[in-house]
Structure 1
Amino acid sequence: MSKKLFIQTLGCAMNVRDSEHIIAELSKKEDYSLTEDIKEADLILINTCSVREKPVHKLFSEVGGFEKVKKEGAKIGVCGCTASHLGKEIFKRAPSVDFVLGARNISKIVQAVNTPKFLGVDLEYDESEFDFEDFRVNPYKTLINISIGCDKSCTYCIVPHTRGDEISIPFHIIEKEAKKAVEKGVKEIFLLGQNVNNYGKRFSNAHPRIDFSDLLQRLSEIENLERIRFTSPHPLHMDDKFLRVFSSNEKICKSMHMPLQSGSDEILKAMKRGYTKEWYLNRAFKLKELCPEVSISTDIIVAFPNESERDFEETMDVIERVRFEQIFSFKYSKRPLTKAALMPNQIDEKTASRRLTHLQNRHAEILDEIVATKKNAEVEVLFEELRAGNAVAGRTNTNFLVQTNGSEELLGQIKRVKITNPRRMVLYGEVV
């Protein structure tokens, strides 16, 4: 009988892909199969996030819960970004944990499982050319890492301290992974990196030089691949070549994630983002000029240390002018190992909450206006999930979620849908 693996994944798409790598390695090399019943699991893993404070606190409460329900002899492992920065402290705070495996050391999972109190948190460890076994949660879409680590020094961000320096994965490995996925029925690939459009700046070994724009073009030549998505590009590296390739290549989905963080030049400088409000707006407007149908999403942090009301209004000004289709917005969260955590003039919770609420309320109004224009529009949807009430759902080229009546025969298919009832979170429609 195969052993049972229960895995809980917190955080970003890169963590999701790391979990898929873990599942694949343990399945092929240790005969584990997935279970959703934690009580029957022989191995319980939590793949952690440390970008904000809340998931870190959640780690230890979750481990405590695991210990109470796990069967005798079951192991508990902590993986991911929090494992990277807390390391052996996790053993002290949670003695029931059997091993700790950082985000830069996922390829060591088999060794970790078989070594008592294994600690693998080396930020200089290089697995950019490791040949992981194959597994994906979604049979129609696949996540593909194109780089690991981050070379930026944003003053609020802990990622460089949990994922190490940036290294690009060689193109031939990315291409091989994409082709293998398409051969198995995948229609869409989703490229991942902390700063994807910085791809090609550094490899571990000698490889042909290739930038992100060229990588997109070459991947688009894969036969039977329908769609390409990626996240997250850095506004600083959005040169004209990149915007032209994005706009002109039909296989590249027309949704762009452009992390803003703040609209204030003073705050952007304090964050060490490397660009100004003017540069950001220039790139956003250039993108809309080249690709009128594009949808733009962003990340925004409110109440960064020393953010004044005027700074916050500069952020709101960008929101009004760009009119983002989606905003991931958060109150500033003080993180260990970051320069911002030591900055004076930390903003009080009441002010931070007020600003976040104001931003989110205004964006909801903008989104309602955008969504209203989708009434009677016809869009192409890649269906990927069944929903209650004989319904199926999927994403448009511009990343809107669409739901329609249908059954599993539509899964994995790209169909044209007429939108009949556009709502803020879901566009409801009928297959044409």
Structure 2
Amino acid sequence: MEDIEDLLVGSGGAPPGFRLPLNAVGVNPRKKNKAKPSKVSQMNDPPKIPGTQTIYVKTFGCSHNQSDSEYMAGQLSAFGYAISDNPEEGDLWLINTCTVKNPSQSAMNTLITKCKSAKKPLVVAGCVPQGSRDLKELEGVSIVGVQQIDRVVEVVEETLKGHEVRLLNRKTLPSLDLPKVRKNKFVEILPINVGCLGACTYCKTKHARGHLGSYTVDSLVERVKTVIADGVREIWLSSEDTGAYGRDIGVNLPILLNAIVAELPPDGSTMLRIGMTNPPFILEHLKEIAAVLCHPCVYSFLHVPVQSGSDAVLTAMNREYTVSEFRTVVDTLTELVPGMQIATDIICGFPGETDEDFSQTVNLIKEYKFSQVHISQFYPRPGTPAARMKKVPSTIVKNRSRELTSVFEAFTPYNGMEGKVERIWITEIATDGIHLVGHTKGYVQVLIVAPETILGTSAIVKITSVGRWSVFGEVLESLPQVNVKMAPDKVSNQEKHSPCSNQYECCACSKEPEPCSCGPDICGGQIKLDKCTVSKNDSPMENRASKNPIHWFIRKRRNHAQKKLENDIALGLENEQDWAPGGWGFVDRALLVGIFVSFFMIVAVIMHLEFRTLLSK
């Protein structure tokens, strides 16, 4: 079937919050069985009223994809649809896809097959249908293009009626002011541009996202003001290449960064994280970007993919920089920004890579000992120049990937942090259910045990121990959260539909289980610094504590004590003693004594019954 596009010639679509008339959407009625349903079934089938269904949303890939999904969920929620992450609950499935490499697309195919088997209506969005619209798996499926996410409500409604809808025409960028349901209510993923200026021989994403298209500085600054008022505590700038921002509209990244930083609260309650940037586009702005990274409201962290330590391989990739230029970026930022942390990417086994080329890559990683390296095996993507190049044998590719992973995992990047006092920003709950997750200014992940009431705030912590992927801290002082006055119209359904969740779930572009073949933001991926779970080697006692009922009781009491203190403060009853984690009050002692007394009474009763049984014999 040919693609069915918008039928409104010259129209930009409906403004945010409005449905277009049904004849404005190209639809293809699905063929139905000629047999008429029985009168009994017609009486039992409830009417399908738009806006009353539950939509299961699944996102593959990147932070940009995640932002698109949040925008689509926000619009659906605004029209009354319930959003769920449970496929069993979904009356319709919405799958947002990633085209970076084979595993992510295979996962998409599997999910589509499950959906069709379950006879659920299906809408597929994202880079796969936009870049490969003729895939067999997409036959008979409704599609939303990457620049048509503002029309997802129309597509869902028509799909629920049994129609197939395809909106793939490129148009103006979607508005930044659309309703949004954030996966993590404290984190705003802000796309600053789409597409890129590069032409990497292995990349499929540009086929979908296209040439560079930047949002204006004013529109981005207005969005920043809005989300700060909404209570957001971290703003992630995201795109396929952050460093290329503005080159199509006559501005550049430093201009945008300075405009955004000027709007951040001076107390540091909201932090900015700059997304992935390729070396060519920041070389001319290194000092200006370093100055922004030094700002107290900006994380001293940047993701700069190198992909290979060999100039010959970089040329074959068409990366448009040399290893020497990459070194200049890293050395300059490390010198000018205190505590600077840099993450990078490596592709193992690119076509034509020799043992000498790979050796140069290993030496580069050993020299800089990056705390975060996203290692990937080469995946040939259909339609790219690299797919036609002579491949390195798969056994060699796998061996190189294992060797480089072994080298990287031998590093101990956080040794020496023990005993340091750091300010962290706390935005989520770890998947173990015990720890909260915060980050230092250098974006080092810190796991703490503290009440959930301090989510969305910052704290002063002392680093107590370090692991391979994260460090552990003890809260010394919880810094007060600035009271942000939220306008009534800004209090959306986000908190209803988007409980704080693990933002670091494994994505198609992360290091686990398949490292990314391009940067997390090139392919769309957010930077997966660490799993939020605690490894057995890092803290075995903490893992065992999660199954201990006494530990659970203590944690519940801590939460209760913290809430009581906050209530006392609100009533002007604050005492002189600061809250200390683990502090025991009268009620705590009384409850503990009650537990022990109950235990001994039970033992006494059992012994008494046993004694009577013996006497009766």
How big is each residue's C-alpha offset from its partner over 1:26-68, in whole Å with a ceiling of 9 and x where there is no partner?
A: 111x321112332232221111111011111222211111233
Partner of 2:421: 378
User: After TM superposition, where is structure 1 displaced by more than 6 Å over at least 4 residues in a row?
Assistant: none
CA RMSD across the alignment: 1.8
Larger Rg: 2
Deviates more, 1:388-397 or 1:76-85: 388-397
How far has the Cα of 1:400 moved from its partner?
Answer: 1.7
Q: Please list, as runs of the form range in 1=range in 2, the aligned pairs for 1:81-92 lying within 5 A after superposition.
A: 81-89=127-135, 92=136
How big is each residue's C-alpha offset from its partner over 1:399-426, in whole Å with a ceiling of 9 and x where there is no partner?
A: 2211111111110111111111100122
How far has the Cα of 1:323 moved from its partner?
Answer: 1.7
How far has the Cα of 1:307 moved from its partner?
Answer: 0.2
Instruction: State the SS of the aligned residue for 1:249.
Output: coil
Q: Which of 128, 139, 158 is 2:185 aligned to?
A: 139
Instruction: State the SS of the aligned residue for 1:18.
Output: helix
> For the residues of structure 1 that align with 2:335 and 2:196, how far apart are their CA atoms?
30
Partner of 2:262: 221
* TM-score when normalising by structure 1: 0.92
How far has the Cα of 1:302 moved from its partner?
Answer: 0.8
1:66 matched to 2:115? The reply is yes
Q: Which amino acid aligns with 2:425?
A: L
Q: Which amino acid aligns with 1:408?
A: E
Describe the shift of the 1:118–1:251 C-alpha distance in structure 2 as closer, same or farther (beyond 3 A): same
Q: Which amino acid aligns with 2:475?
A: V
1:292 matched to 2:338? The reply is yes
Describe the shift of the 1:353–1:7 C-alpha distance in structure 2 as closer, same or farther (beyond 3 A): same
Instruction: State the SS of the aligned residue for 2:437.
Output: strand
Q: Which of 171, 174, 185 is 1:125 aligned to?
A: 171
Q: Which amino acid aligns with 1:402?
A: V
1:10 matched to 2:74? The reply is no
> For the residues of structure 1 that align with 2:374 and 2:434, how far apart are their CA atoms?
31
Are the counterparts in 2 of residues 129 and 173 from structure 1 also a CA contact under 8 Å? no
Are the counterparts in 1 of residues 144 and 167 from structure 2 also a CA contact under 8 Å? yes
Instruction: State the SS of the aligned residue for 1:347.
Output: coil
1:362 matched to 2:407? The reply is yes
Describe the shift of the 1:134–1:61 C-alpha distance in structure 2 as closer, same or farther (beyond 3 A): closer
Are the counterparts in 2 of residues 38 and 44 from structure 1 also a CA contact under 8 Å? yes
Stretches of structure 1 lacking an aligned partner (at least 5 in a row): 204-208
Deviates more, 1:372-381 or 1:141-150: 372-381
Partner of 1:251: 297
**Number of positions where the alignment pairs a residue of Structure 1 with one of Structure 2:** 416
Q: Which amino acid aligns with 2:464?
A: T
Describe the shift of the 1:210–1:273 C-alpha distance in structure 2 as closer, same or farther (beyond 3 A): same
Q: Please list, as runs of the form range in 1=range in 2, the aligned pairs for 1:269-418 lying within 5 A after superposition.
A: 269-344=315-390, 346-366=391-411, 368=412, 370-387=413-430, 388=432, 390-418=434-462
> For the residues of structure 1 that align with 2:425 and 2:303, how far apart are their CA atoms?
19
Partner of 2:86: 37
Q: Which amino acid aligns with 2:457?
A: Q
* TM-score when normalising by structure 2: 0.65
> For the residues of structure 1 that align with 2:58 and 2:180, how far apart are their CA atoms?
19
How far has the Cα of 1:168 moved from its partner?
Answer: 0.3
How far has the Cα of 1:276 moved from its partner?
Answer: 0.4
Percent sequence identity over aligned pairs: 27
Partner of 1:108: 151
Q: Which of 251, 271, 282 is 1:210 aligned to?
A: 251
Q: Which of 25, 28, 42 is 2:75 aligned to?
A: 25
> For the residues of structure 2 that align with 1:269 and 1:257, how far apart are their CA atoms?
21
> For the residues of structure 2 that align with 1:306 and 1:380, how far apart are their CA atoms?
46
Are the counterparts in 2 of residues 88 and 119 from structure 1 also a CA contact under 8 Å? no
Are the counterparts in 2 of residues 129 and 170 from structure 1 also a CA contact under 8 Å? no
Are the counterparts in 1 of residues 72 and 180 from structure 2 also a CA contact under 8 Å? no
Structure (1/2) with the larger strand percentage: 1
How big is each residue's C-alpha offset from its partner over 1:145-192, in whole Å with a ceiling of 9 and x where there is no partner?
A: 100112210001011101111100111221121111100111211001
How far has the Cα of 1:120 moved from its partner?
Answer: 2.0
Describe the shift of the 1:190–1:147 C-alpha distance in structure 2 as closer, same or farther (beyond 3 A): same
